Amino acid sequence: MSEESQVRSFYSGKNFLITGCTGFVGLCLIEKILRSIPDVGSICLLIRPKKGKEVFERLQVFPYNPVFKKLLETEPIEIFYKLIPFQGDLGSENLGLSADDRQYLIDNVNVVIHCAATLDVEESLKPTVQINVLGTRRIMDLCQQMKNLKVMVHVSSAYVNSYLTEVHEKIYDPPADVESIISMTEKLTEEALIGMERTLIKDHPNTYTFTKHLAEHEVMKHSEKFPCTIVRPTMIVASWKEPVIGWTCSKVGPQGFLMGAAKGVVRRLPLAKNIIADYIPVDVVVNQLLVAGWNAGQSKSGLTVYHCSSSTQKPFKWLMLEPVVNNMLHNYPLKSAVWYPYLDFVSSLWLFRLSAIFVHFIPAILLDMLFMITGGKPILFRLHKNVWNSLNRLEKFICTEWKFHNPKTIELNEKMNKTDREMFYIDIETISWEEYFVNLHLGVRKYLNRESEKTLPAARSKQSILKVAHIVWQVLMIILVWFIVSCLSGLTMIQLAWCPPVIYSLYSFL
């Protein structure tokens, strides 16, 4: 007879408050709770109105999200009645909650999981402080008033300490005085703050990591009053096992560039393939949030910190995927591809910029012109321009190897009984990265590019045509450059017969 799940037993009958519930992690977290803890109480969701849609309207689309498909195979749609939307906003005083809604949460919530944040590394300091720092402070103030709070779980990021290359599961000293930073963002103009930004954030690569670091200290201030735990995921990627293999709704990181590579528009990728890239599947993150909350909830107060990471336990390097990445793209092509897919890894930013001119920008201009002629929307040049403009901010993440040590996470896994280790798995020792990325690519194909398996035969037929077109294009470009060299040198093309292989080699180098 199998042991009873201790994690499920802890959360049984308890009422949750979840922020960031419409995001990548939030959706997967809600699905996991409804499917694995069916006797949970209410799940209160802090939601902002968006694009003219009220919070109830945003909630109504939840059952149609593919992430809930497995849940609805065993549960009636009425399971979603457990979800209660509350109109609110982290960036507003008192979280933008009405007096009645706030009192309801104070009276009824037992578990808080704070997922919401502004994740944009390009964002300026004023909005990131308002949401990531003050938003967390407002959540913690609400938690302090809750009458029967059992645990508060804060979703941070492993990169809050990215000024270090070896990071441990502890709270590091704050990078600045939080009250001074808040005061400046309230008093100074956006332009003045942008001018001071680099000085203020010091060794942090961007405002996101800086403000998320400060937010951890907002959590720590309350840890003597009620149990708190901080989980620091690294780069969160598509699901490994649950609820659907390869599910994703995020275009961040490898999901985004594989989406572009499958369409044939992203052909070069700037990354250091010999260094460890720390990725963690979203289902592992969700499990760790719940397990960390269960463990912290055994105490009356205190703070625990966990890395949800792979770099020191099951390291991944792009070198491992280089031999198979193009086979992956060619075996599972897109019907919507605009060019023959081919992806090369480029180890330096200057070489990427050089190659991008020839393999990204020139084809983008031509394809955008074709889109305009056929009534489409020209987007490729703008897409590549945005990537180009963001390279300096992303350089640290492209070229740096971090090691996020996770002994507390390993210890947490050992604390669980066998039932919980299977139901709420957080151990990634058995992951096969090559198999995982094939499934990730299939997930990107299905959930981001919205192409089912039924389109594969048509996609493969189109790929054959695109391959011929790609070869013809390369031949024409070689002939054109050959002709230009002939004109400039005064020699005949026959005399320059050595040019085509040299041109092809140089192009391949790019």
Question: CB neighbours of 284 closer than 8 A, spacing ≥ 6?
Answer: 240, 308, 425, 426, 428
Task: Dig out the tokens for 357 from the structure.
Answer: 């001119």
pLDDT digits (tens, 9 = 90+) for 71-90: 999 999 999 999 999 999 99
Task: Dig out the tokens for 432 from the structure.
Answer: 């096969």
Mean pLDDT of 220-248: 96
Task: Dig out the tokens for 471 from the structure.
Answer: 């070869």
Contact 328, 437 (CB under 8 A): yes
- Per residue, the 3-state secondary structure of 214-239, as one string, reads HHHHHHHCCCCCCCEEEEEECEEECC
pLDDT, residue 367, reads 81
> In angstroms, what is the C-alpha Rg of the chain?
25
Region class of 440: left (phi > 0), else alpha (psi between -120 and 50), else beta: alpha
Residue whose entry in the numeric block shows the structure tokens 């990548």:
24
pLDDT, residue 222, reads 95
Instruction: Tell me the DSSP string of 417-461.
Output: -HHHHHHT----TT--HHHHHHHHHHHIIIIIS---GGGHHHHHH
Q: What distance, in Å, lies between the first and last C-alpha atoms of the chain?
A: 61
Contact 439, 248 (CB under 8 A): no
Compute φ and ψ for 13, nearest 5 degrees.
75, -5
Task: Dig out the tokens for 322 from the structure.
Answer: 């280089």
pLDDT digits (tens, 9 = 90+) for 426-438: 999 999 999 999 9
Does pLDDT of 150 surpass 60?
A: yes
Does pLDDT of 508 surpass 90?
A: no
Task: Dig out the tokens for 104 from the structure.
Answer: 């309801």
pLDDT digits (tens, 9 = 90+) for 109-139: 999 999 999 888 778 899 999 999 999 999 9
pLDDT digits (tens, 9 = 90+) for 265-283: 889 888 889 999 999 999 9
List the one residue out of 340, 347, 344, 332 whose CA is nearest residue 440.
Answer: 332
Compute φ and ψ for 345, nearest 5 degrees.
-90, 135
In 309-412, DSSP assigns E strands to 344-346, 403-404
Residue 52's alpha-carbon distances to 56, 84, 95, 127, 249, in angstroms, are 12, 19, 19, 21, 21
Does pLDDT of 100 surpass 70?
A: yes
What proportion of the chain, given as a percentage, has pLDDT over 70?
Answer: 99
Confidence of residue 449 (pLDDT cuts 50, 70, 90): very high
The architecture that CATH gives domain 6-251+277-311+401-414 is 3-Layer(aba) Sandwich (3.40)
Residue 377's alpha-carbon distances to 208, 245, 368, in angstroms, are 32, 33, 7
Q: Which amino acid is at 143?
A: C
Give the residue, 158 or 387, on which the prediction is more confident. 158
Q: Which amino acid is at 494?
A: I
Q: What angle do CA 249, 252, 258 make, to 5 degrees?
A: 85
DSSP code of 243? Answer: S
Instruction: Tell me the DSSP string of 160-226.
Output: GGTTSSEE-SSPPPPSS-HHHHHHHHHHS-HHHHHHHHHHHHTT-SSHHHHHHHHHHHHHHTTTTTS
* Axis crossing angle, helix 134-145 with helix 207-220, rounded to the nearest 10: 20
Does pLDDT of 503 surpass 90?
A: no
Task: Dig out the tokens for 157 from the structure.
Answer: 């990021």
pLDDT, residue 128, reads 94
Confidence of residue 510 (pLDDT cuts 50, 70, 90): low
pLDDT, residue 64, reads 92
Write the burial class of residue 373 (CB in 10 Å: 0-12 exposed, 13-18 middle, 19+ buried): exposed
pLDDT digits (tens, 9 = 90+) for 5-55: 999 999 999 999 999 999 999 999 999 999 999 899 999 999 998 877 888
Q: What is the pTM of this model?
A: 0.93
* Cis peptide upstream of residue 243 (ω within 30 degrees of 0): yes
